[in-house]
């Protein structure tokens, strides 16, 4: 009996030690596969529901992005839930993120409204081990697997160069976005500094319109009353500023088509079909095509990769873009955003020509 008991104890110790060793080796393998080979099992190995949070749906740009989401989710093999609209409210967006997390999503694709406020939602996701991909706007702080965005500094610079090359001197207006968003800040600062450096004969007047069409119309009307001699306008978001800007100019008898005396040179950002139509009519002159289709496609691509534990490094991609590391340490895939004028407005490759 004592010998049998001793053998039994030894066998238990051996089994226990073996189990510990196997467990340790499995833990090391899992950590190594995620960190070193990028093929770990984070997020259930790429399976599970993905929540998609929109900033707003009052802009044709975001309406188009919303339409692209289910198509791109299907093509990328992502099980995306129905999109959620935060309706231009940063606090509501945090609530929306928490609601998605409470539904058990394994990944989130979010277009932040406020670069600072979004940190609260990102922290909630990180605590639950849910990866996040940010689309269109980079957060100031917080963990995201990737930011899918075009170079918004280039937006402001392209608008500056176009106006500077077509308006030799005089007053130009930039209708800015929300400065709580890095997009609004990047476009505004880039346009302002470019004009100062390269086109000093231009005087920049600014309207902080916060992505709000009513605010843009009201402030533009007031500005035009005091400055009826403006020569150019830069709209940072055609999706919300195009209609009120054209209507305001028309109501004051200042909407002249390209080639007419008194035509105000107008450059926009977004690349929506309505802007293309306005370019064809000569009502505006150019826009930067922000890639709604690619935003949806690569938002899904990167969230699937994040759920599978894959990681990326700065450098060129295989889809004509470049991944850069931001000052915050976050990686951003800067997708191409071409300038569209009357010379290339009918290009069938532009997403604005592929939607109804």
Tell me which of 37 and 190 has the higher pLDDT.
190
**59-75 mean pLDDT:** 97
Going by C-beta distance under 8 Å and a sequence separation of 6 or more, which residues neighbour residue 53?
A: 83, 84, 86, 93, 96, 97, 100, 108, 109, 110, 111
Q: What is the pLDDT of residue 2?
A: 40
* Residue with tokens 């791109």, as numbered in its chain: 72
Q: What is the pLDDT of residue 353?
A: 97
What is the overall mean pLDDT for the chain? 89
Instruction: Judge if 42-149+292-337 and 152-289 fold alike in CATH terms.
Output: yes
Could you give the residue ranges of the DSSP H alpha helices within 51-172? 60-76, 90-102, 119-127, 152-166
Q: Which of 315, 307, 297, 302 is nearest to 133 (CA)?
A: 302
Q: What is the CATH number of domain 152-289?
A: 3.40.50.2300
Read off the pLDDT of residues 26-52 as tens digits, 9 standing for 90 and up: 332 333 222 333 333 333 345 699 999
Domain boundaries, given as residue ranges, for the chain: 42-149+292-337, 152-289
**269-278 mean pLDDT:** 97
The pair phi, psi for residue 305, each rounded to 5°, is -60, -40
Chain centroid to CA 96: 18
Read off the pLDDT of residues 212-256 as tens digits, 9 standing for 90 and up: 999 999 999 999 999 999 999 999 999 999 999 999 999 999 999
Task: State yes or no: pLDDT of 14 exceeds 80.
Answer: no
CA-CA distances (angstroms) from residue 89 to 95, 136, 295, 310? Answer: 10, 16, 21, 32
What are the tokens at 22? 């196997």
Q: What is the pLDDT of residue 355?
A: 86
Read off the pLDDT of residues 125-175 as tens digits, 9 standing for 90 and up: 999 999 999 999 999 999 999 999 999 999 999 999 999 999 999 999 999
Q: Is the model's pTM score more than 0.85?
A: no
Tell me if the domain spanning 42-149+292-337 has CATH number 3.40.50.2300. Answer: yes
For residues 267 and 162, is the Cβ–Cβ distance under 8 A? Answer: yes
What are the tokens at 131? 């990866």
């Amino acid at each position: 009996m004592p010998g049998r008991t001793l053998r039994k104890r030894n066998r238990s110790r051996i089994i226990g030690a073996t189990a510990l060793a196997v467990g340790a080796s499995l833990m090391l393998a899992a950590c190594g596969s995620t960190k070193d080979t990028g093929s770990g099992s984070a997020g259930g190995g790429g399976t599970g529901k993905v929540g998609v949070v929109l900033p707003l749906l009052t802009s044709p740009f975001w309406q188009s992005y919303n339409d692209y989401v289910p198509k791109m989710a299907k093509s990328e093999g992502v099980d995306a839930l129905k999109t959620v609209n935060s309706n231009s409210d940063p606090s509501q967006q945090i609530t929306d993120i928490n609601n998605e997390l409470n539904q058990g999503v394994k990944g989130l694709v979010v277009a932040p409204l406020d670069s600072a406020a979004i940190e609260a939602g990102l922290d909630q996701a990180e605590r639950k081990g849910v990866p996040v991909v940010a689309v269109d706007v980079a957060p100031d702080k917080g963990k995201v697997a990737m930011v899918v965005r075009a170079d918004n500094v280039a937006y402001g610079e392209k608008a500056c160069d176009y106006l500077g090359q077509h308006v030799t001197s005089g007053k130009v207006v930039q209708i800015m976005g929300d400065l709580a968003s890095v997009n609004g800040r990047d476009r505004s600062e880039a346009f302002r500094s470019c004009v100062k450096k390269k086109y000093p004969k231009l005087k920049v007047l600014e309207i902080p319109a916060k992505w709000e069409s009513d605010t843009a119309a009201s402030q533009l009307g007031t500005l035009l009353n005091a400055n009826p001699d403006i020569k150019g306008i830069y709209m940072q978001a055609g999706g919300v500023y195009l209609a009120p800007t054209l209507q305001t100019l028309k109501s004051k008898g200042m909407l002249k088509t390209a080639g007419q005396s008194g035509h105000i040179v107008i450059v926009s950002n977004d690349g929506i079909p309505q802007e293309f139509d306005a370019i064809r009519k000569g009502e505006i002159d150019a826009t930067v095509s922000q890639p709604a289709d690619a935003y949806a496609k690569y938002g899904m691509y990167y969230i699937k990769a994040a759920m599978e534990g894959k990681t990326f490094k700065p450098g060129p991609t295989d889809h004509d873009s470049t991944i850069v590391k931001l000052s915050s340490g976050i990686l951003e895939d800067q997708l191409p955003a071409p300038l569209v004028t009357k010379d290339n407005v009918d290009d069938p490759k532009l997403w604005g020509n592929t939607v109804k």
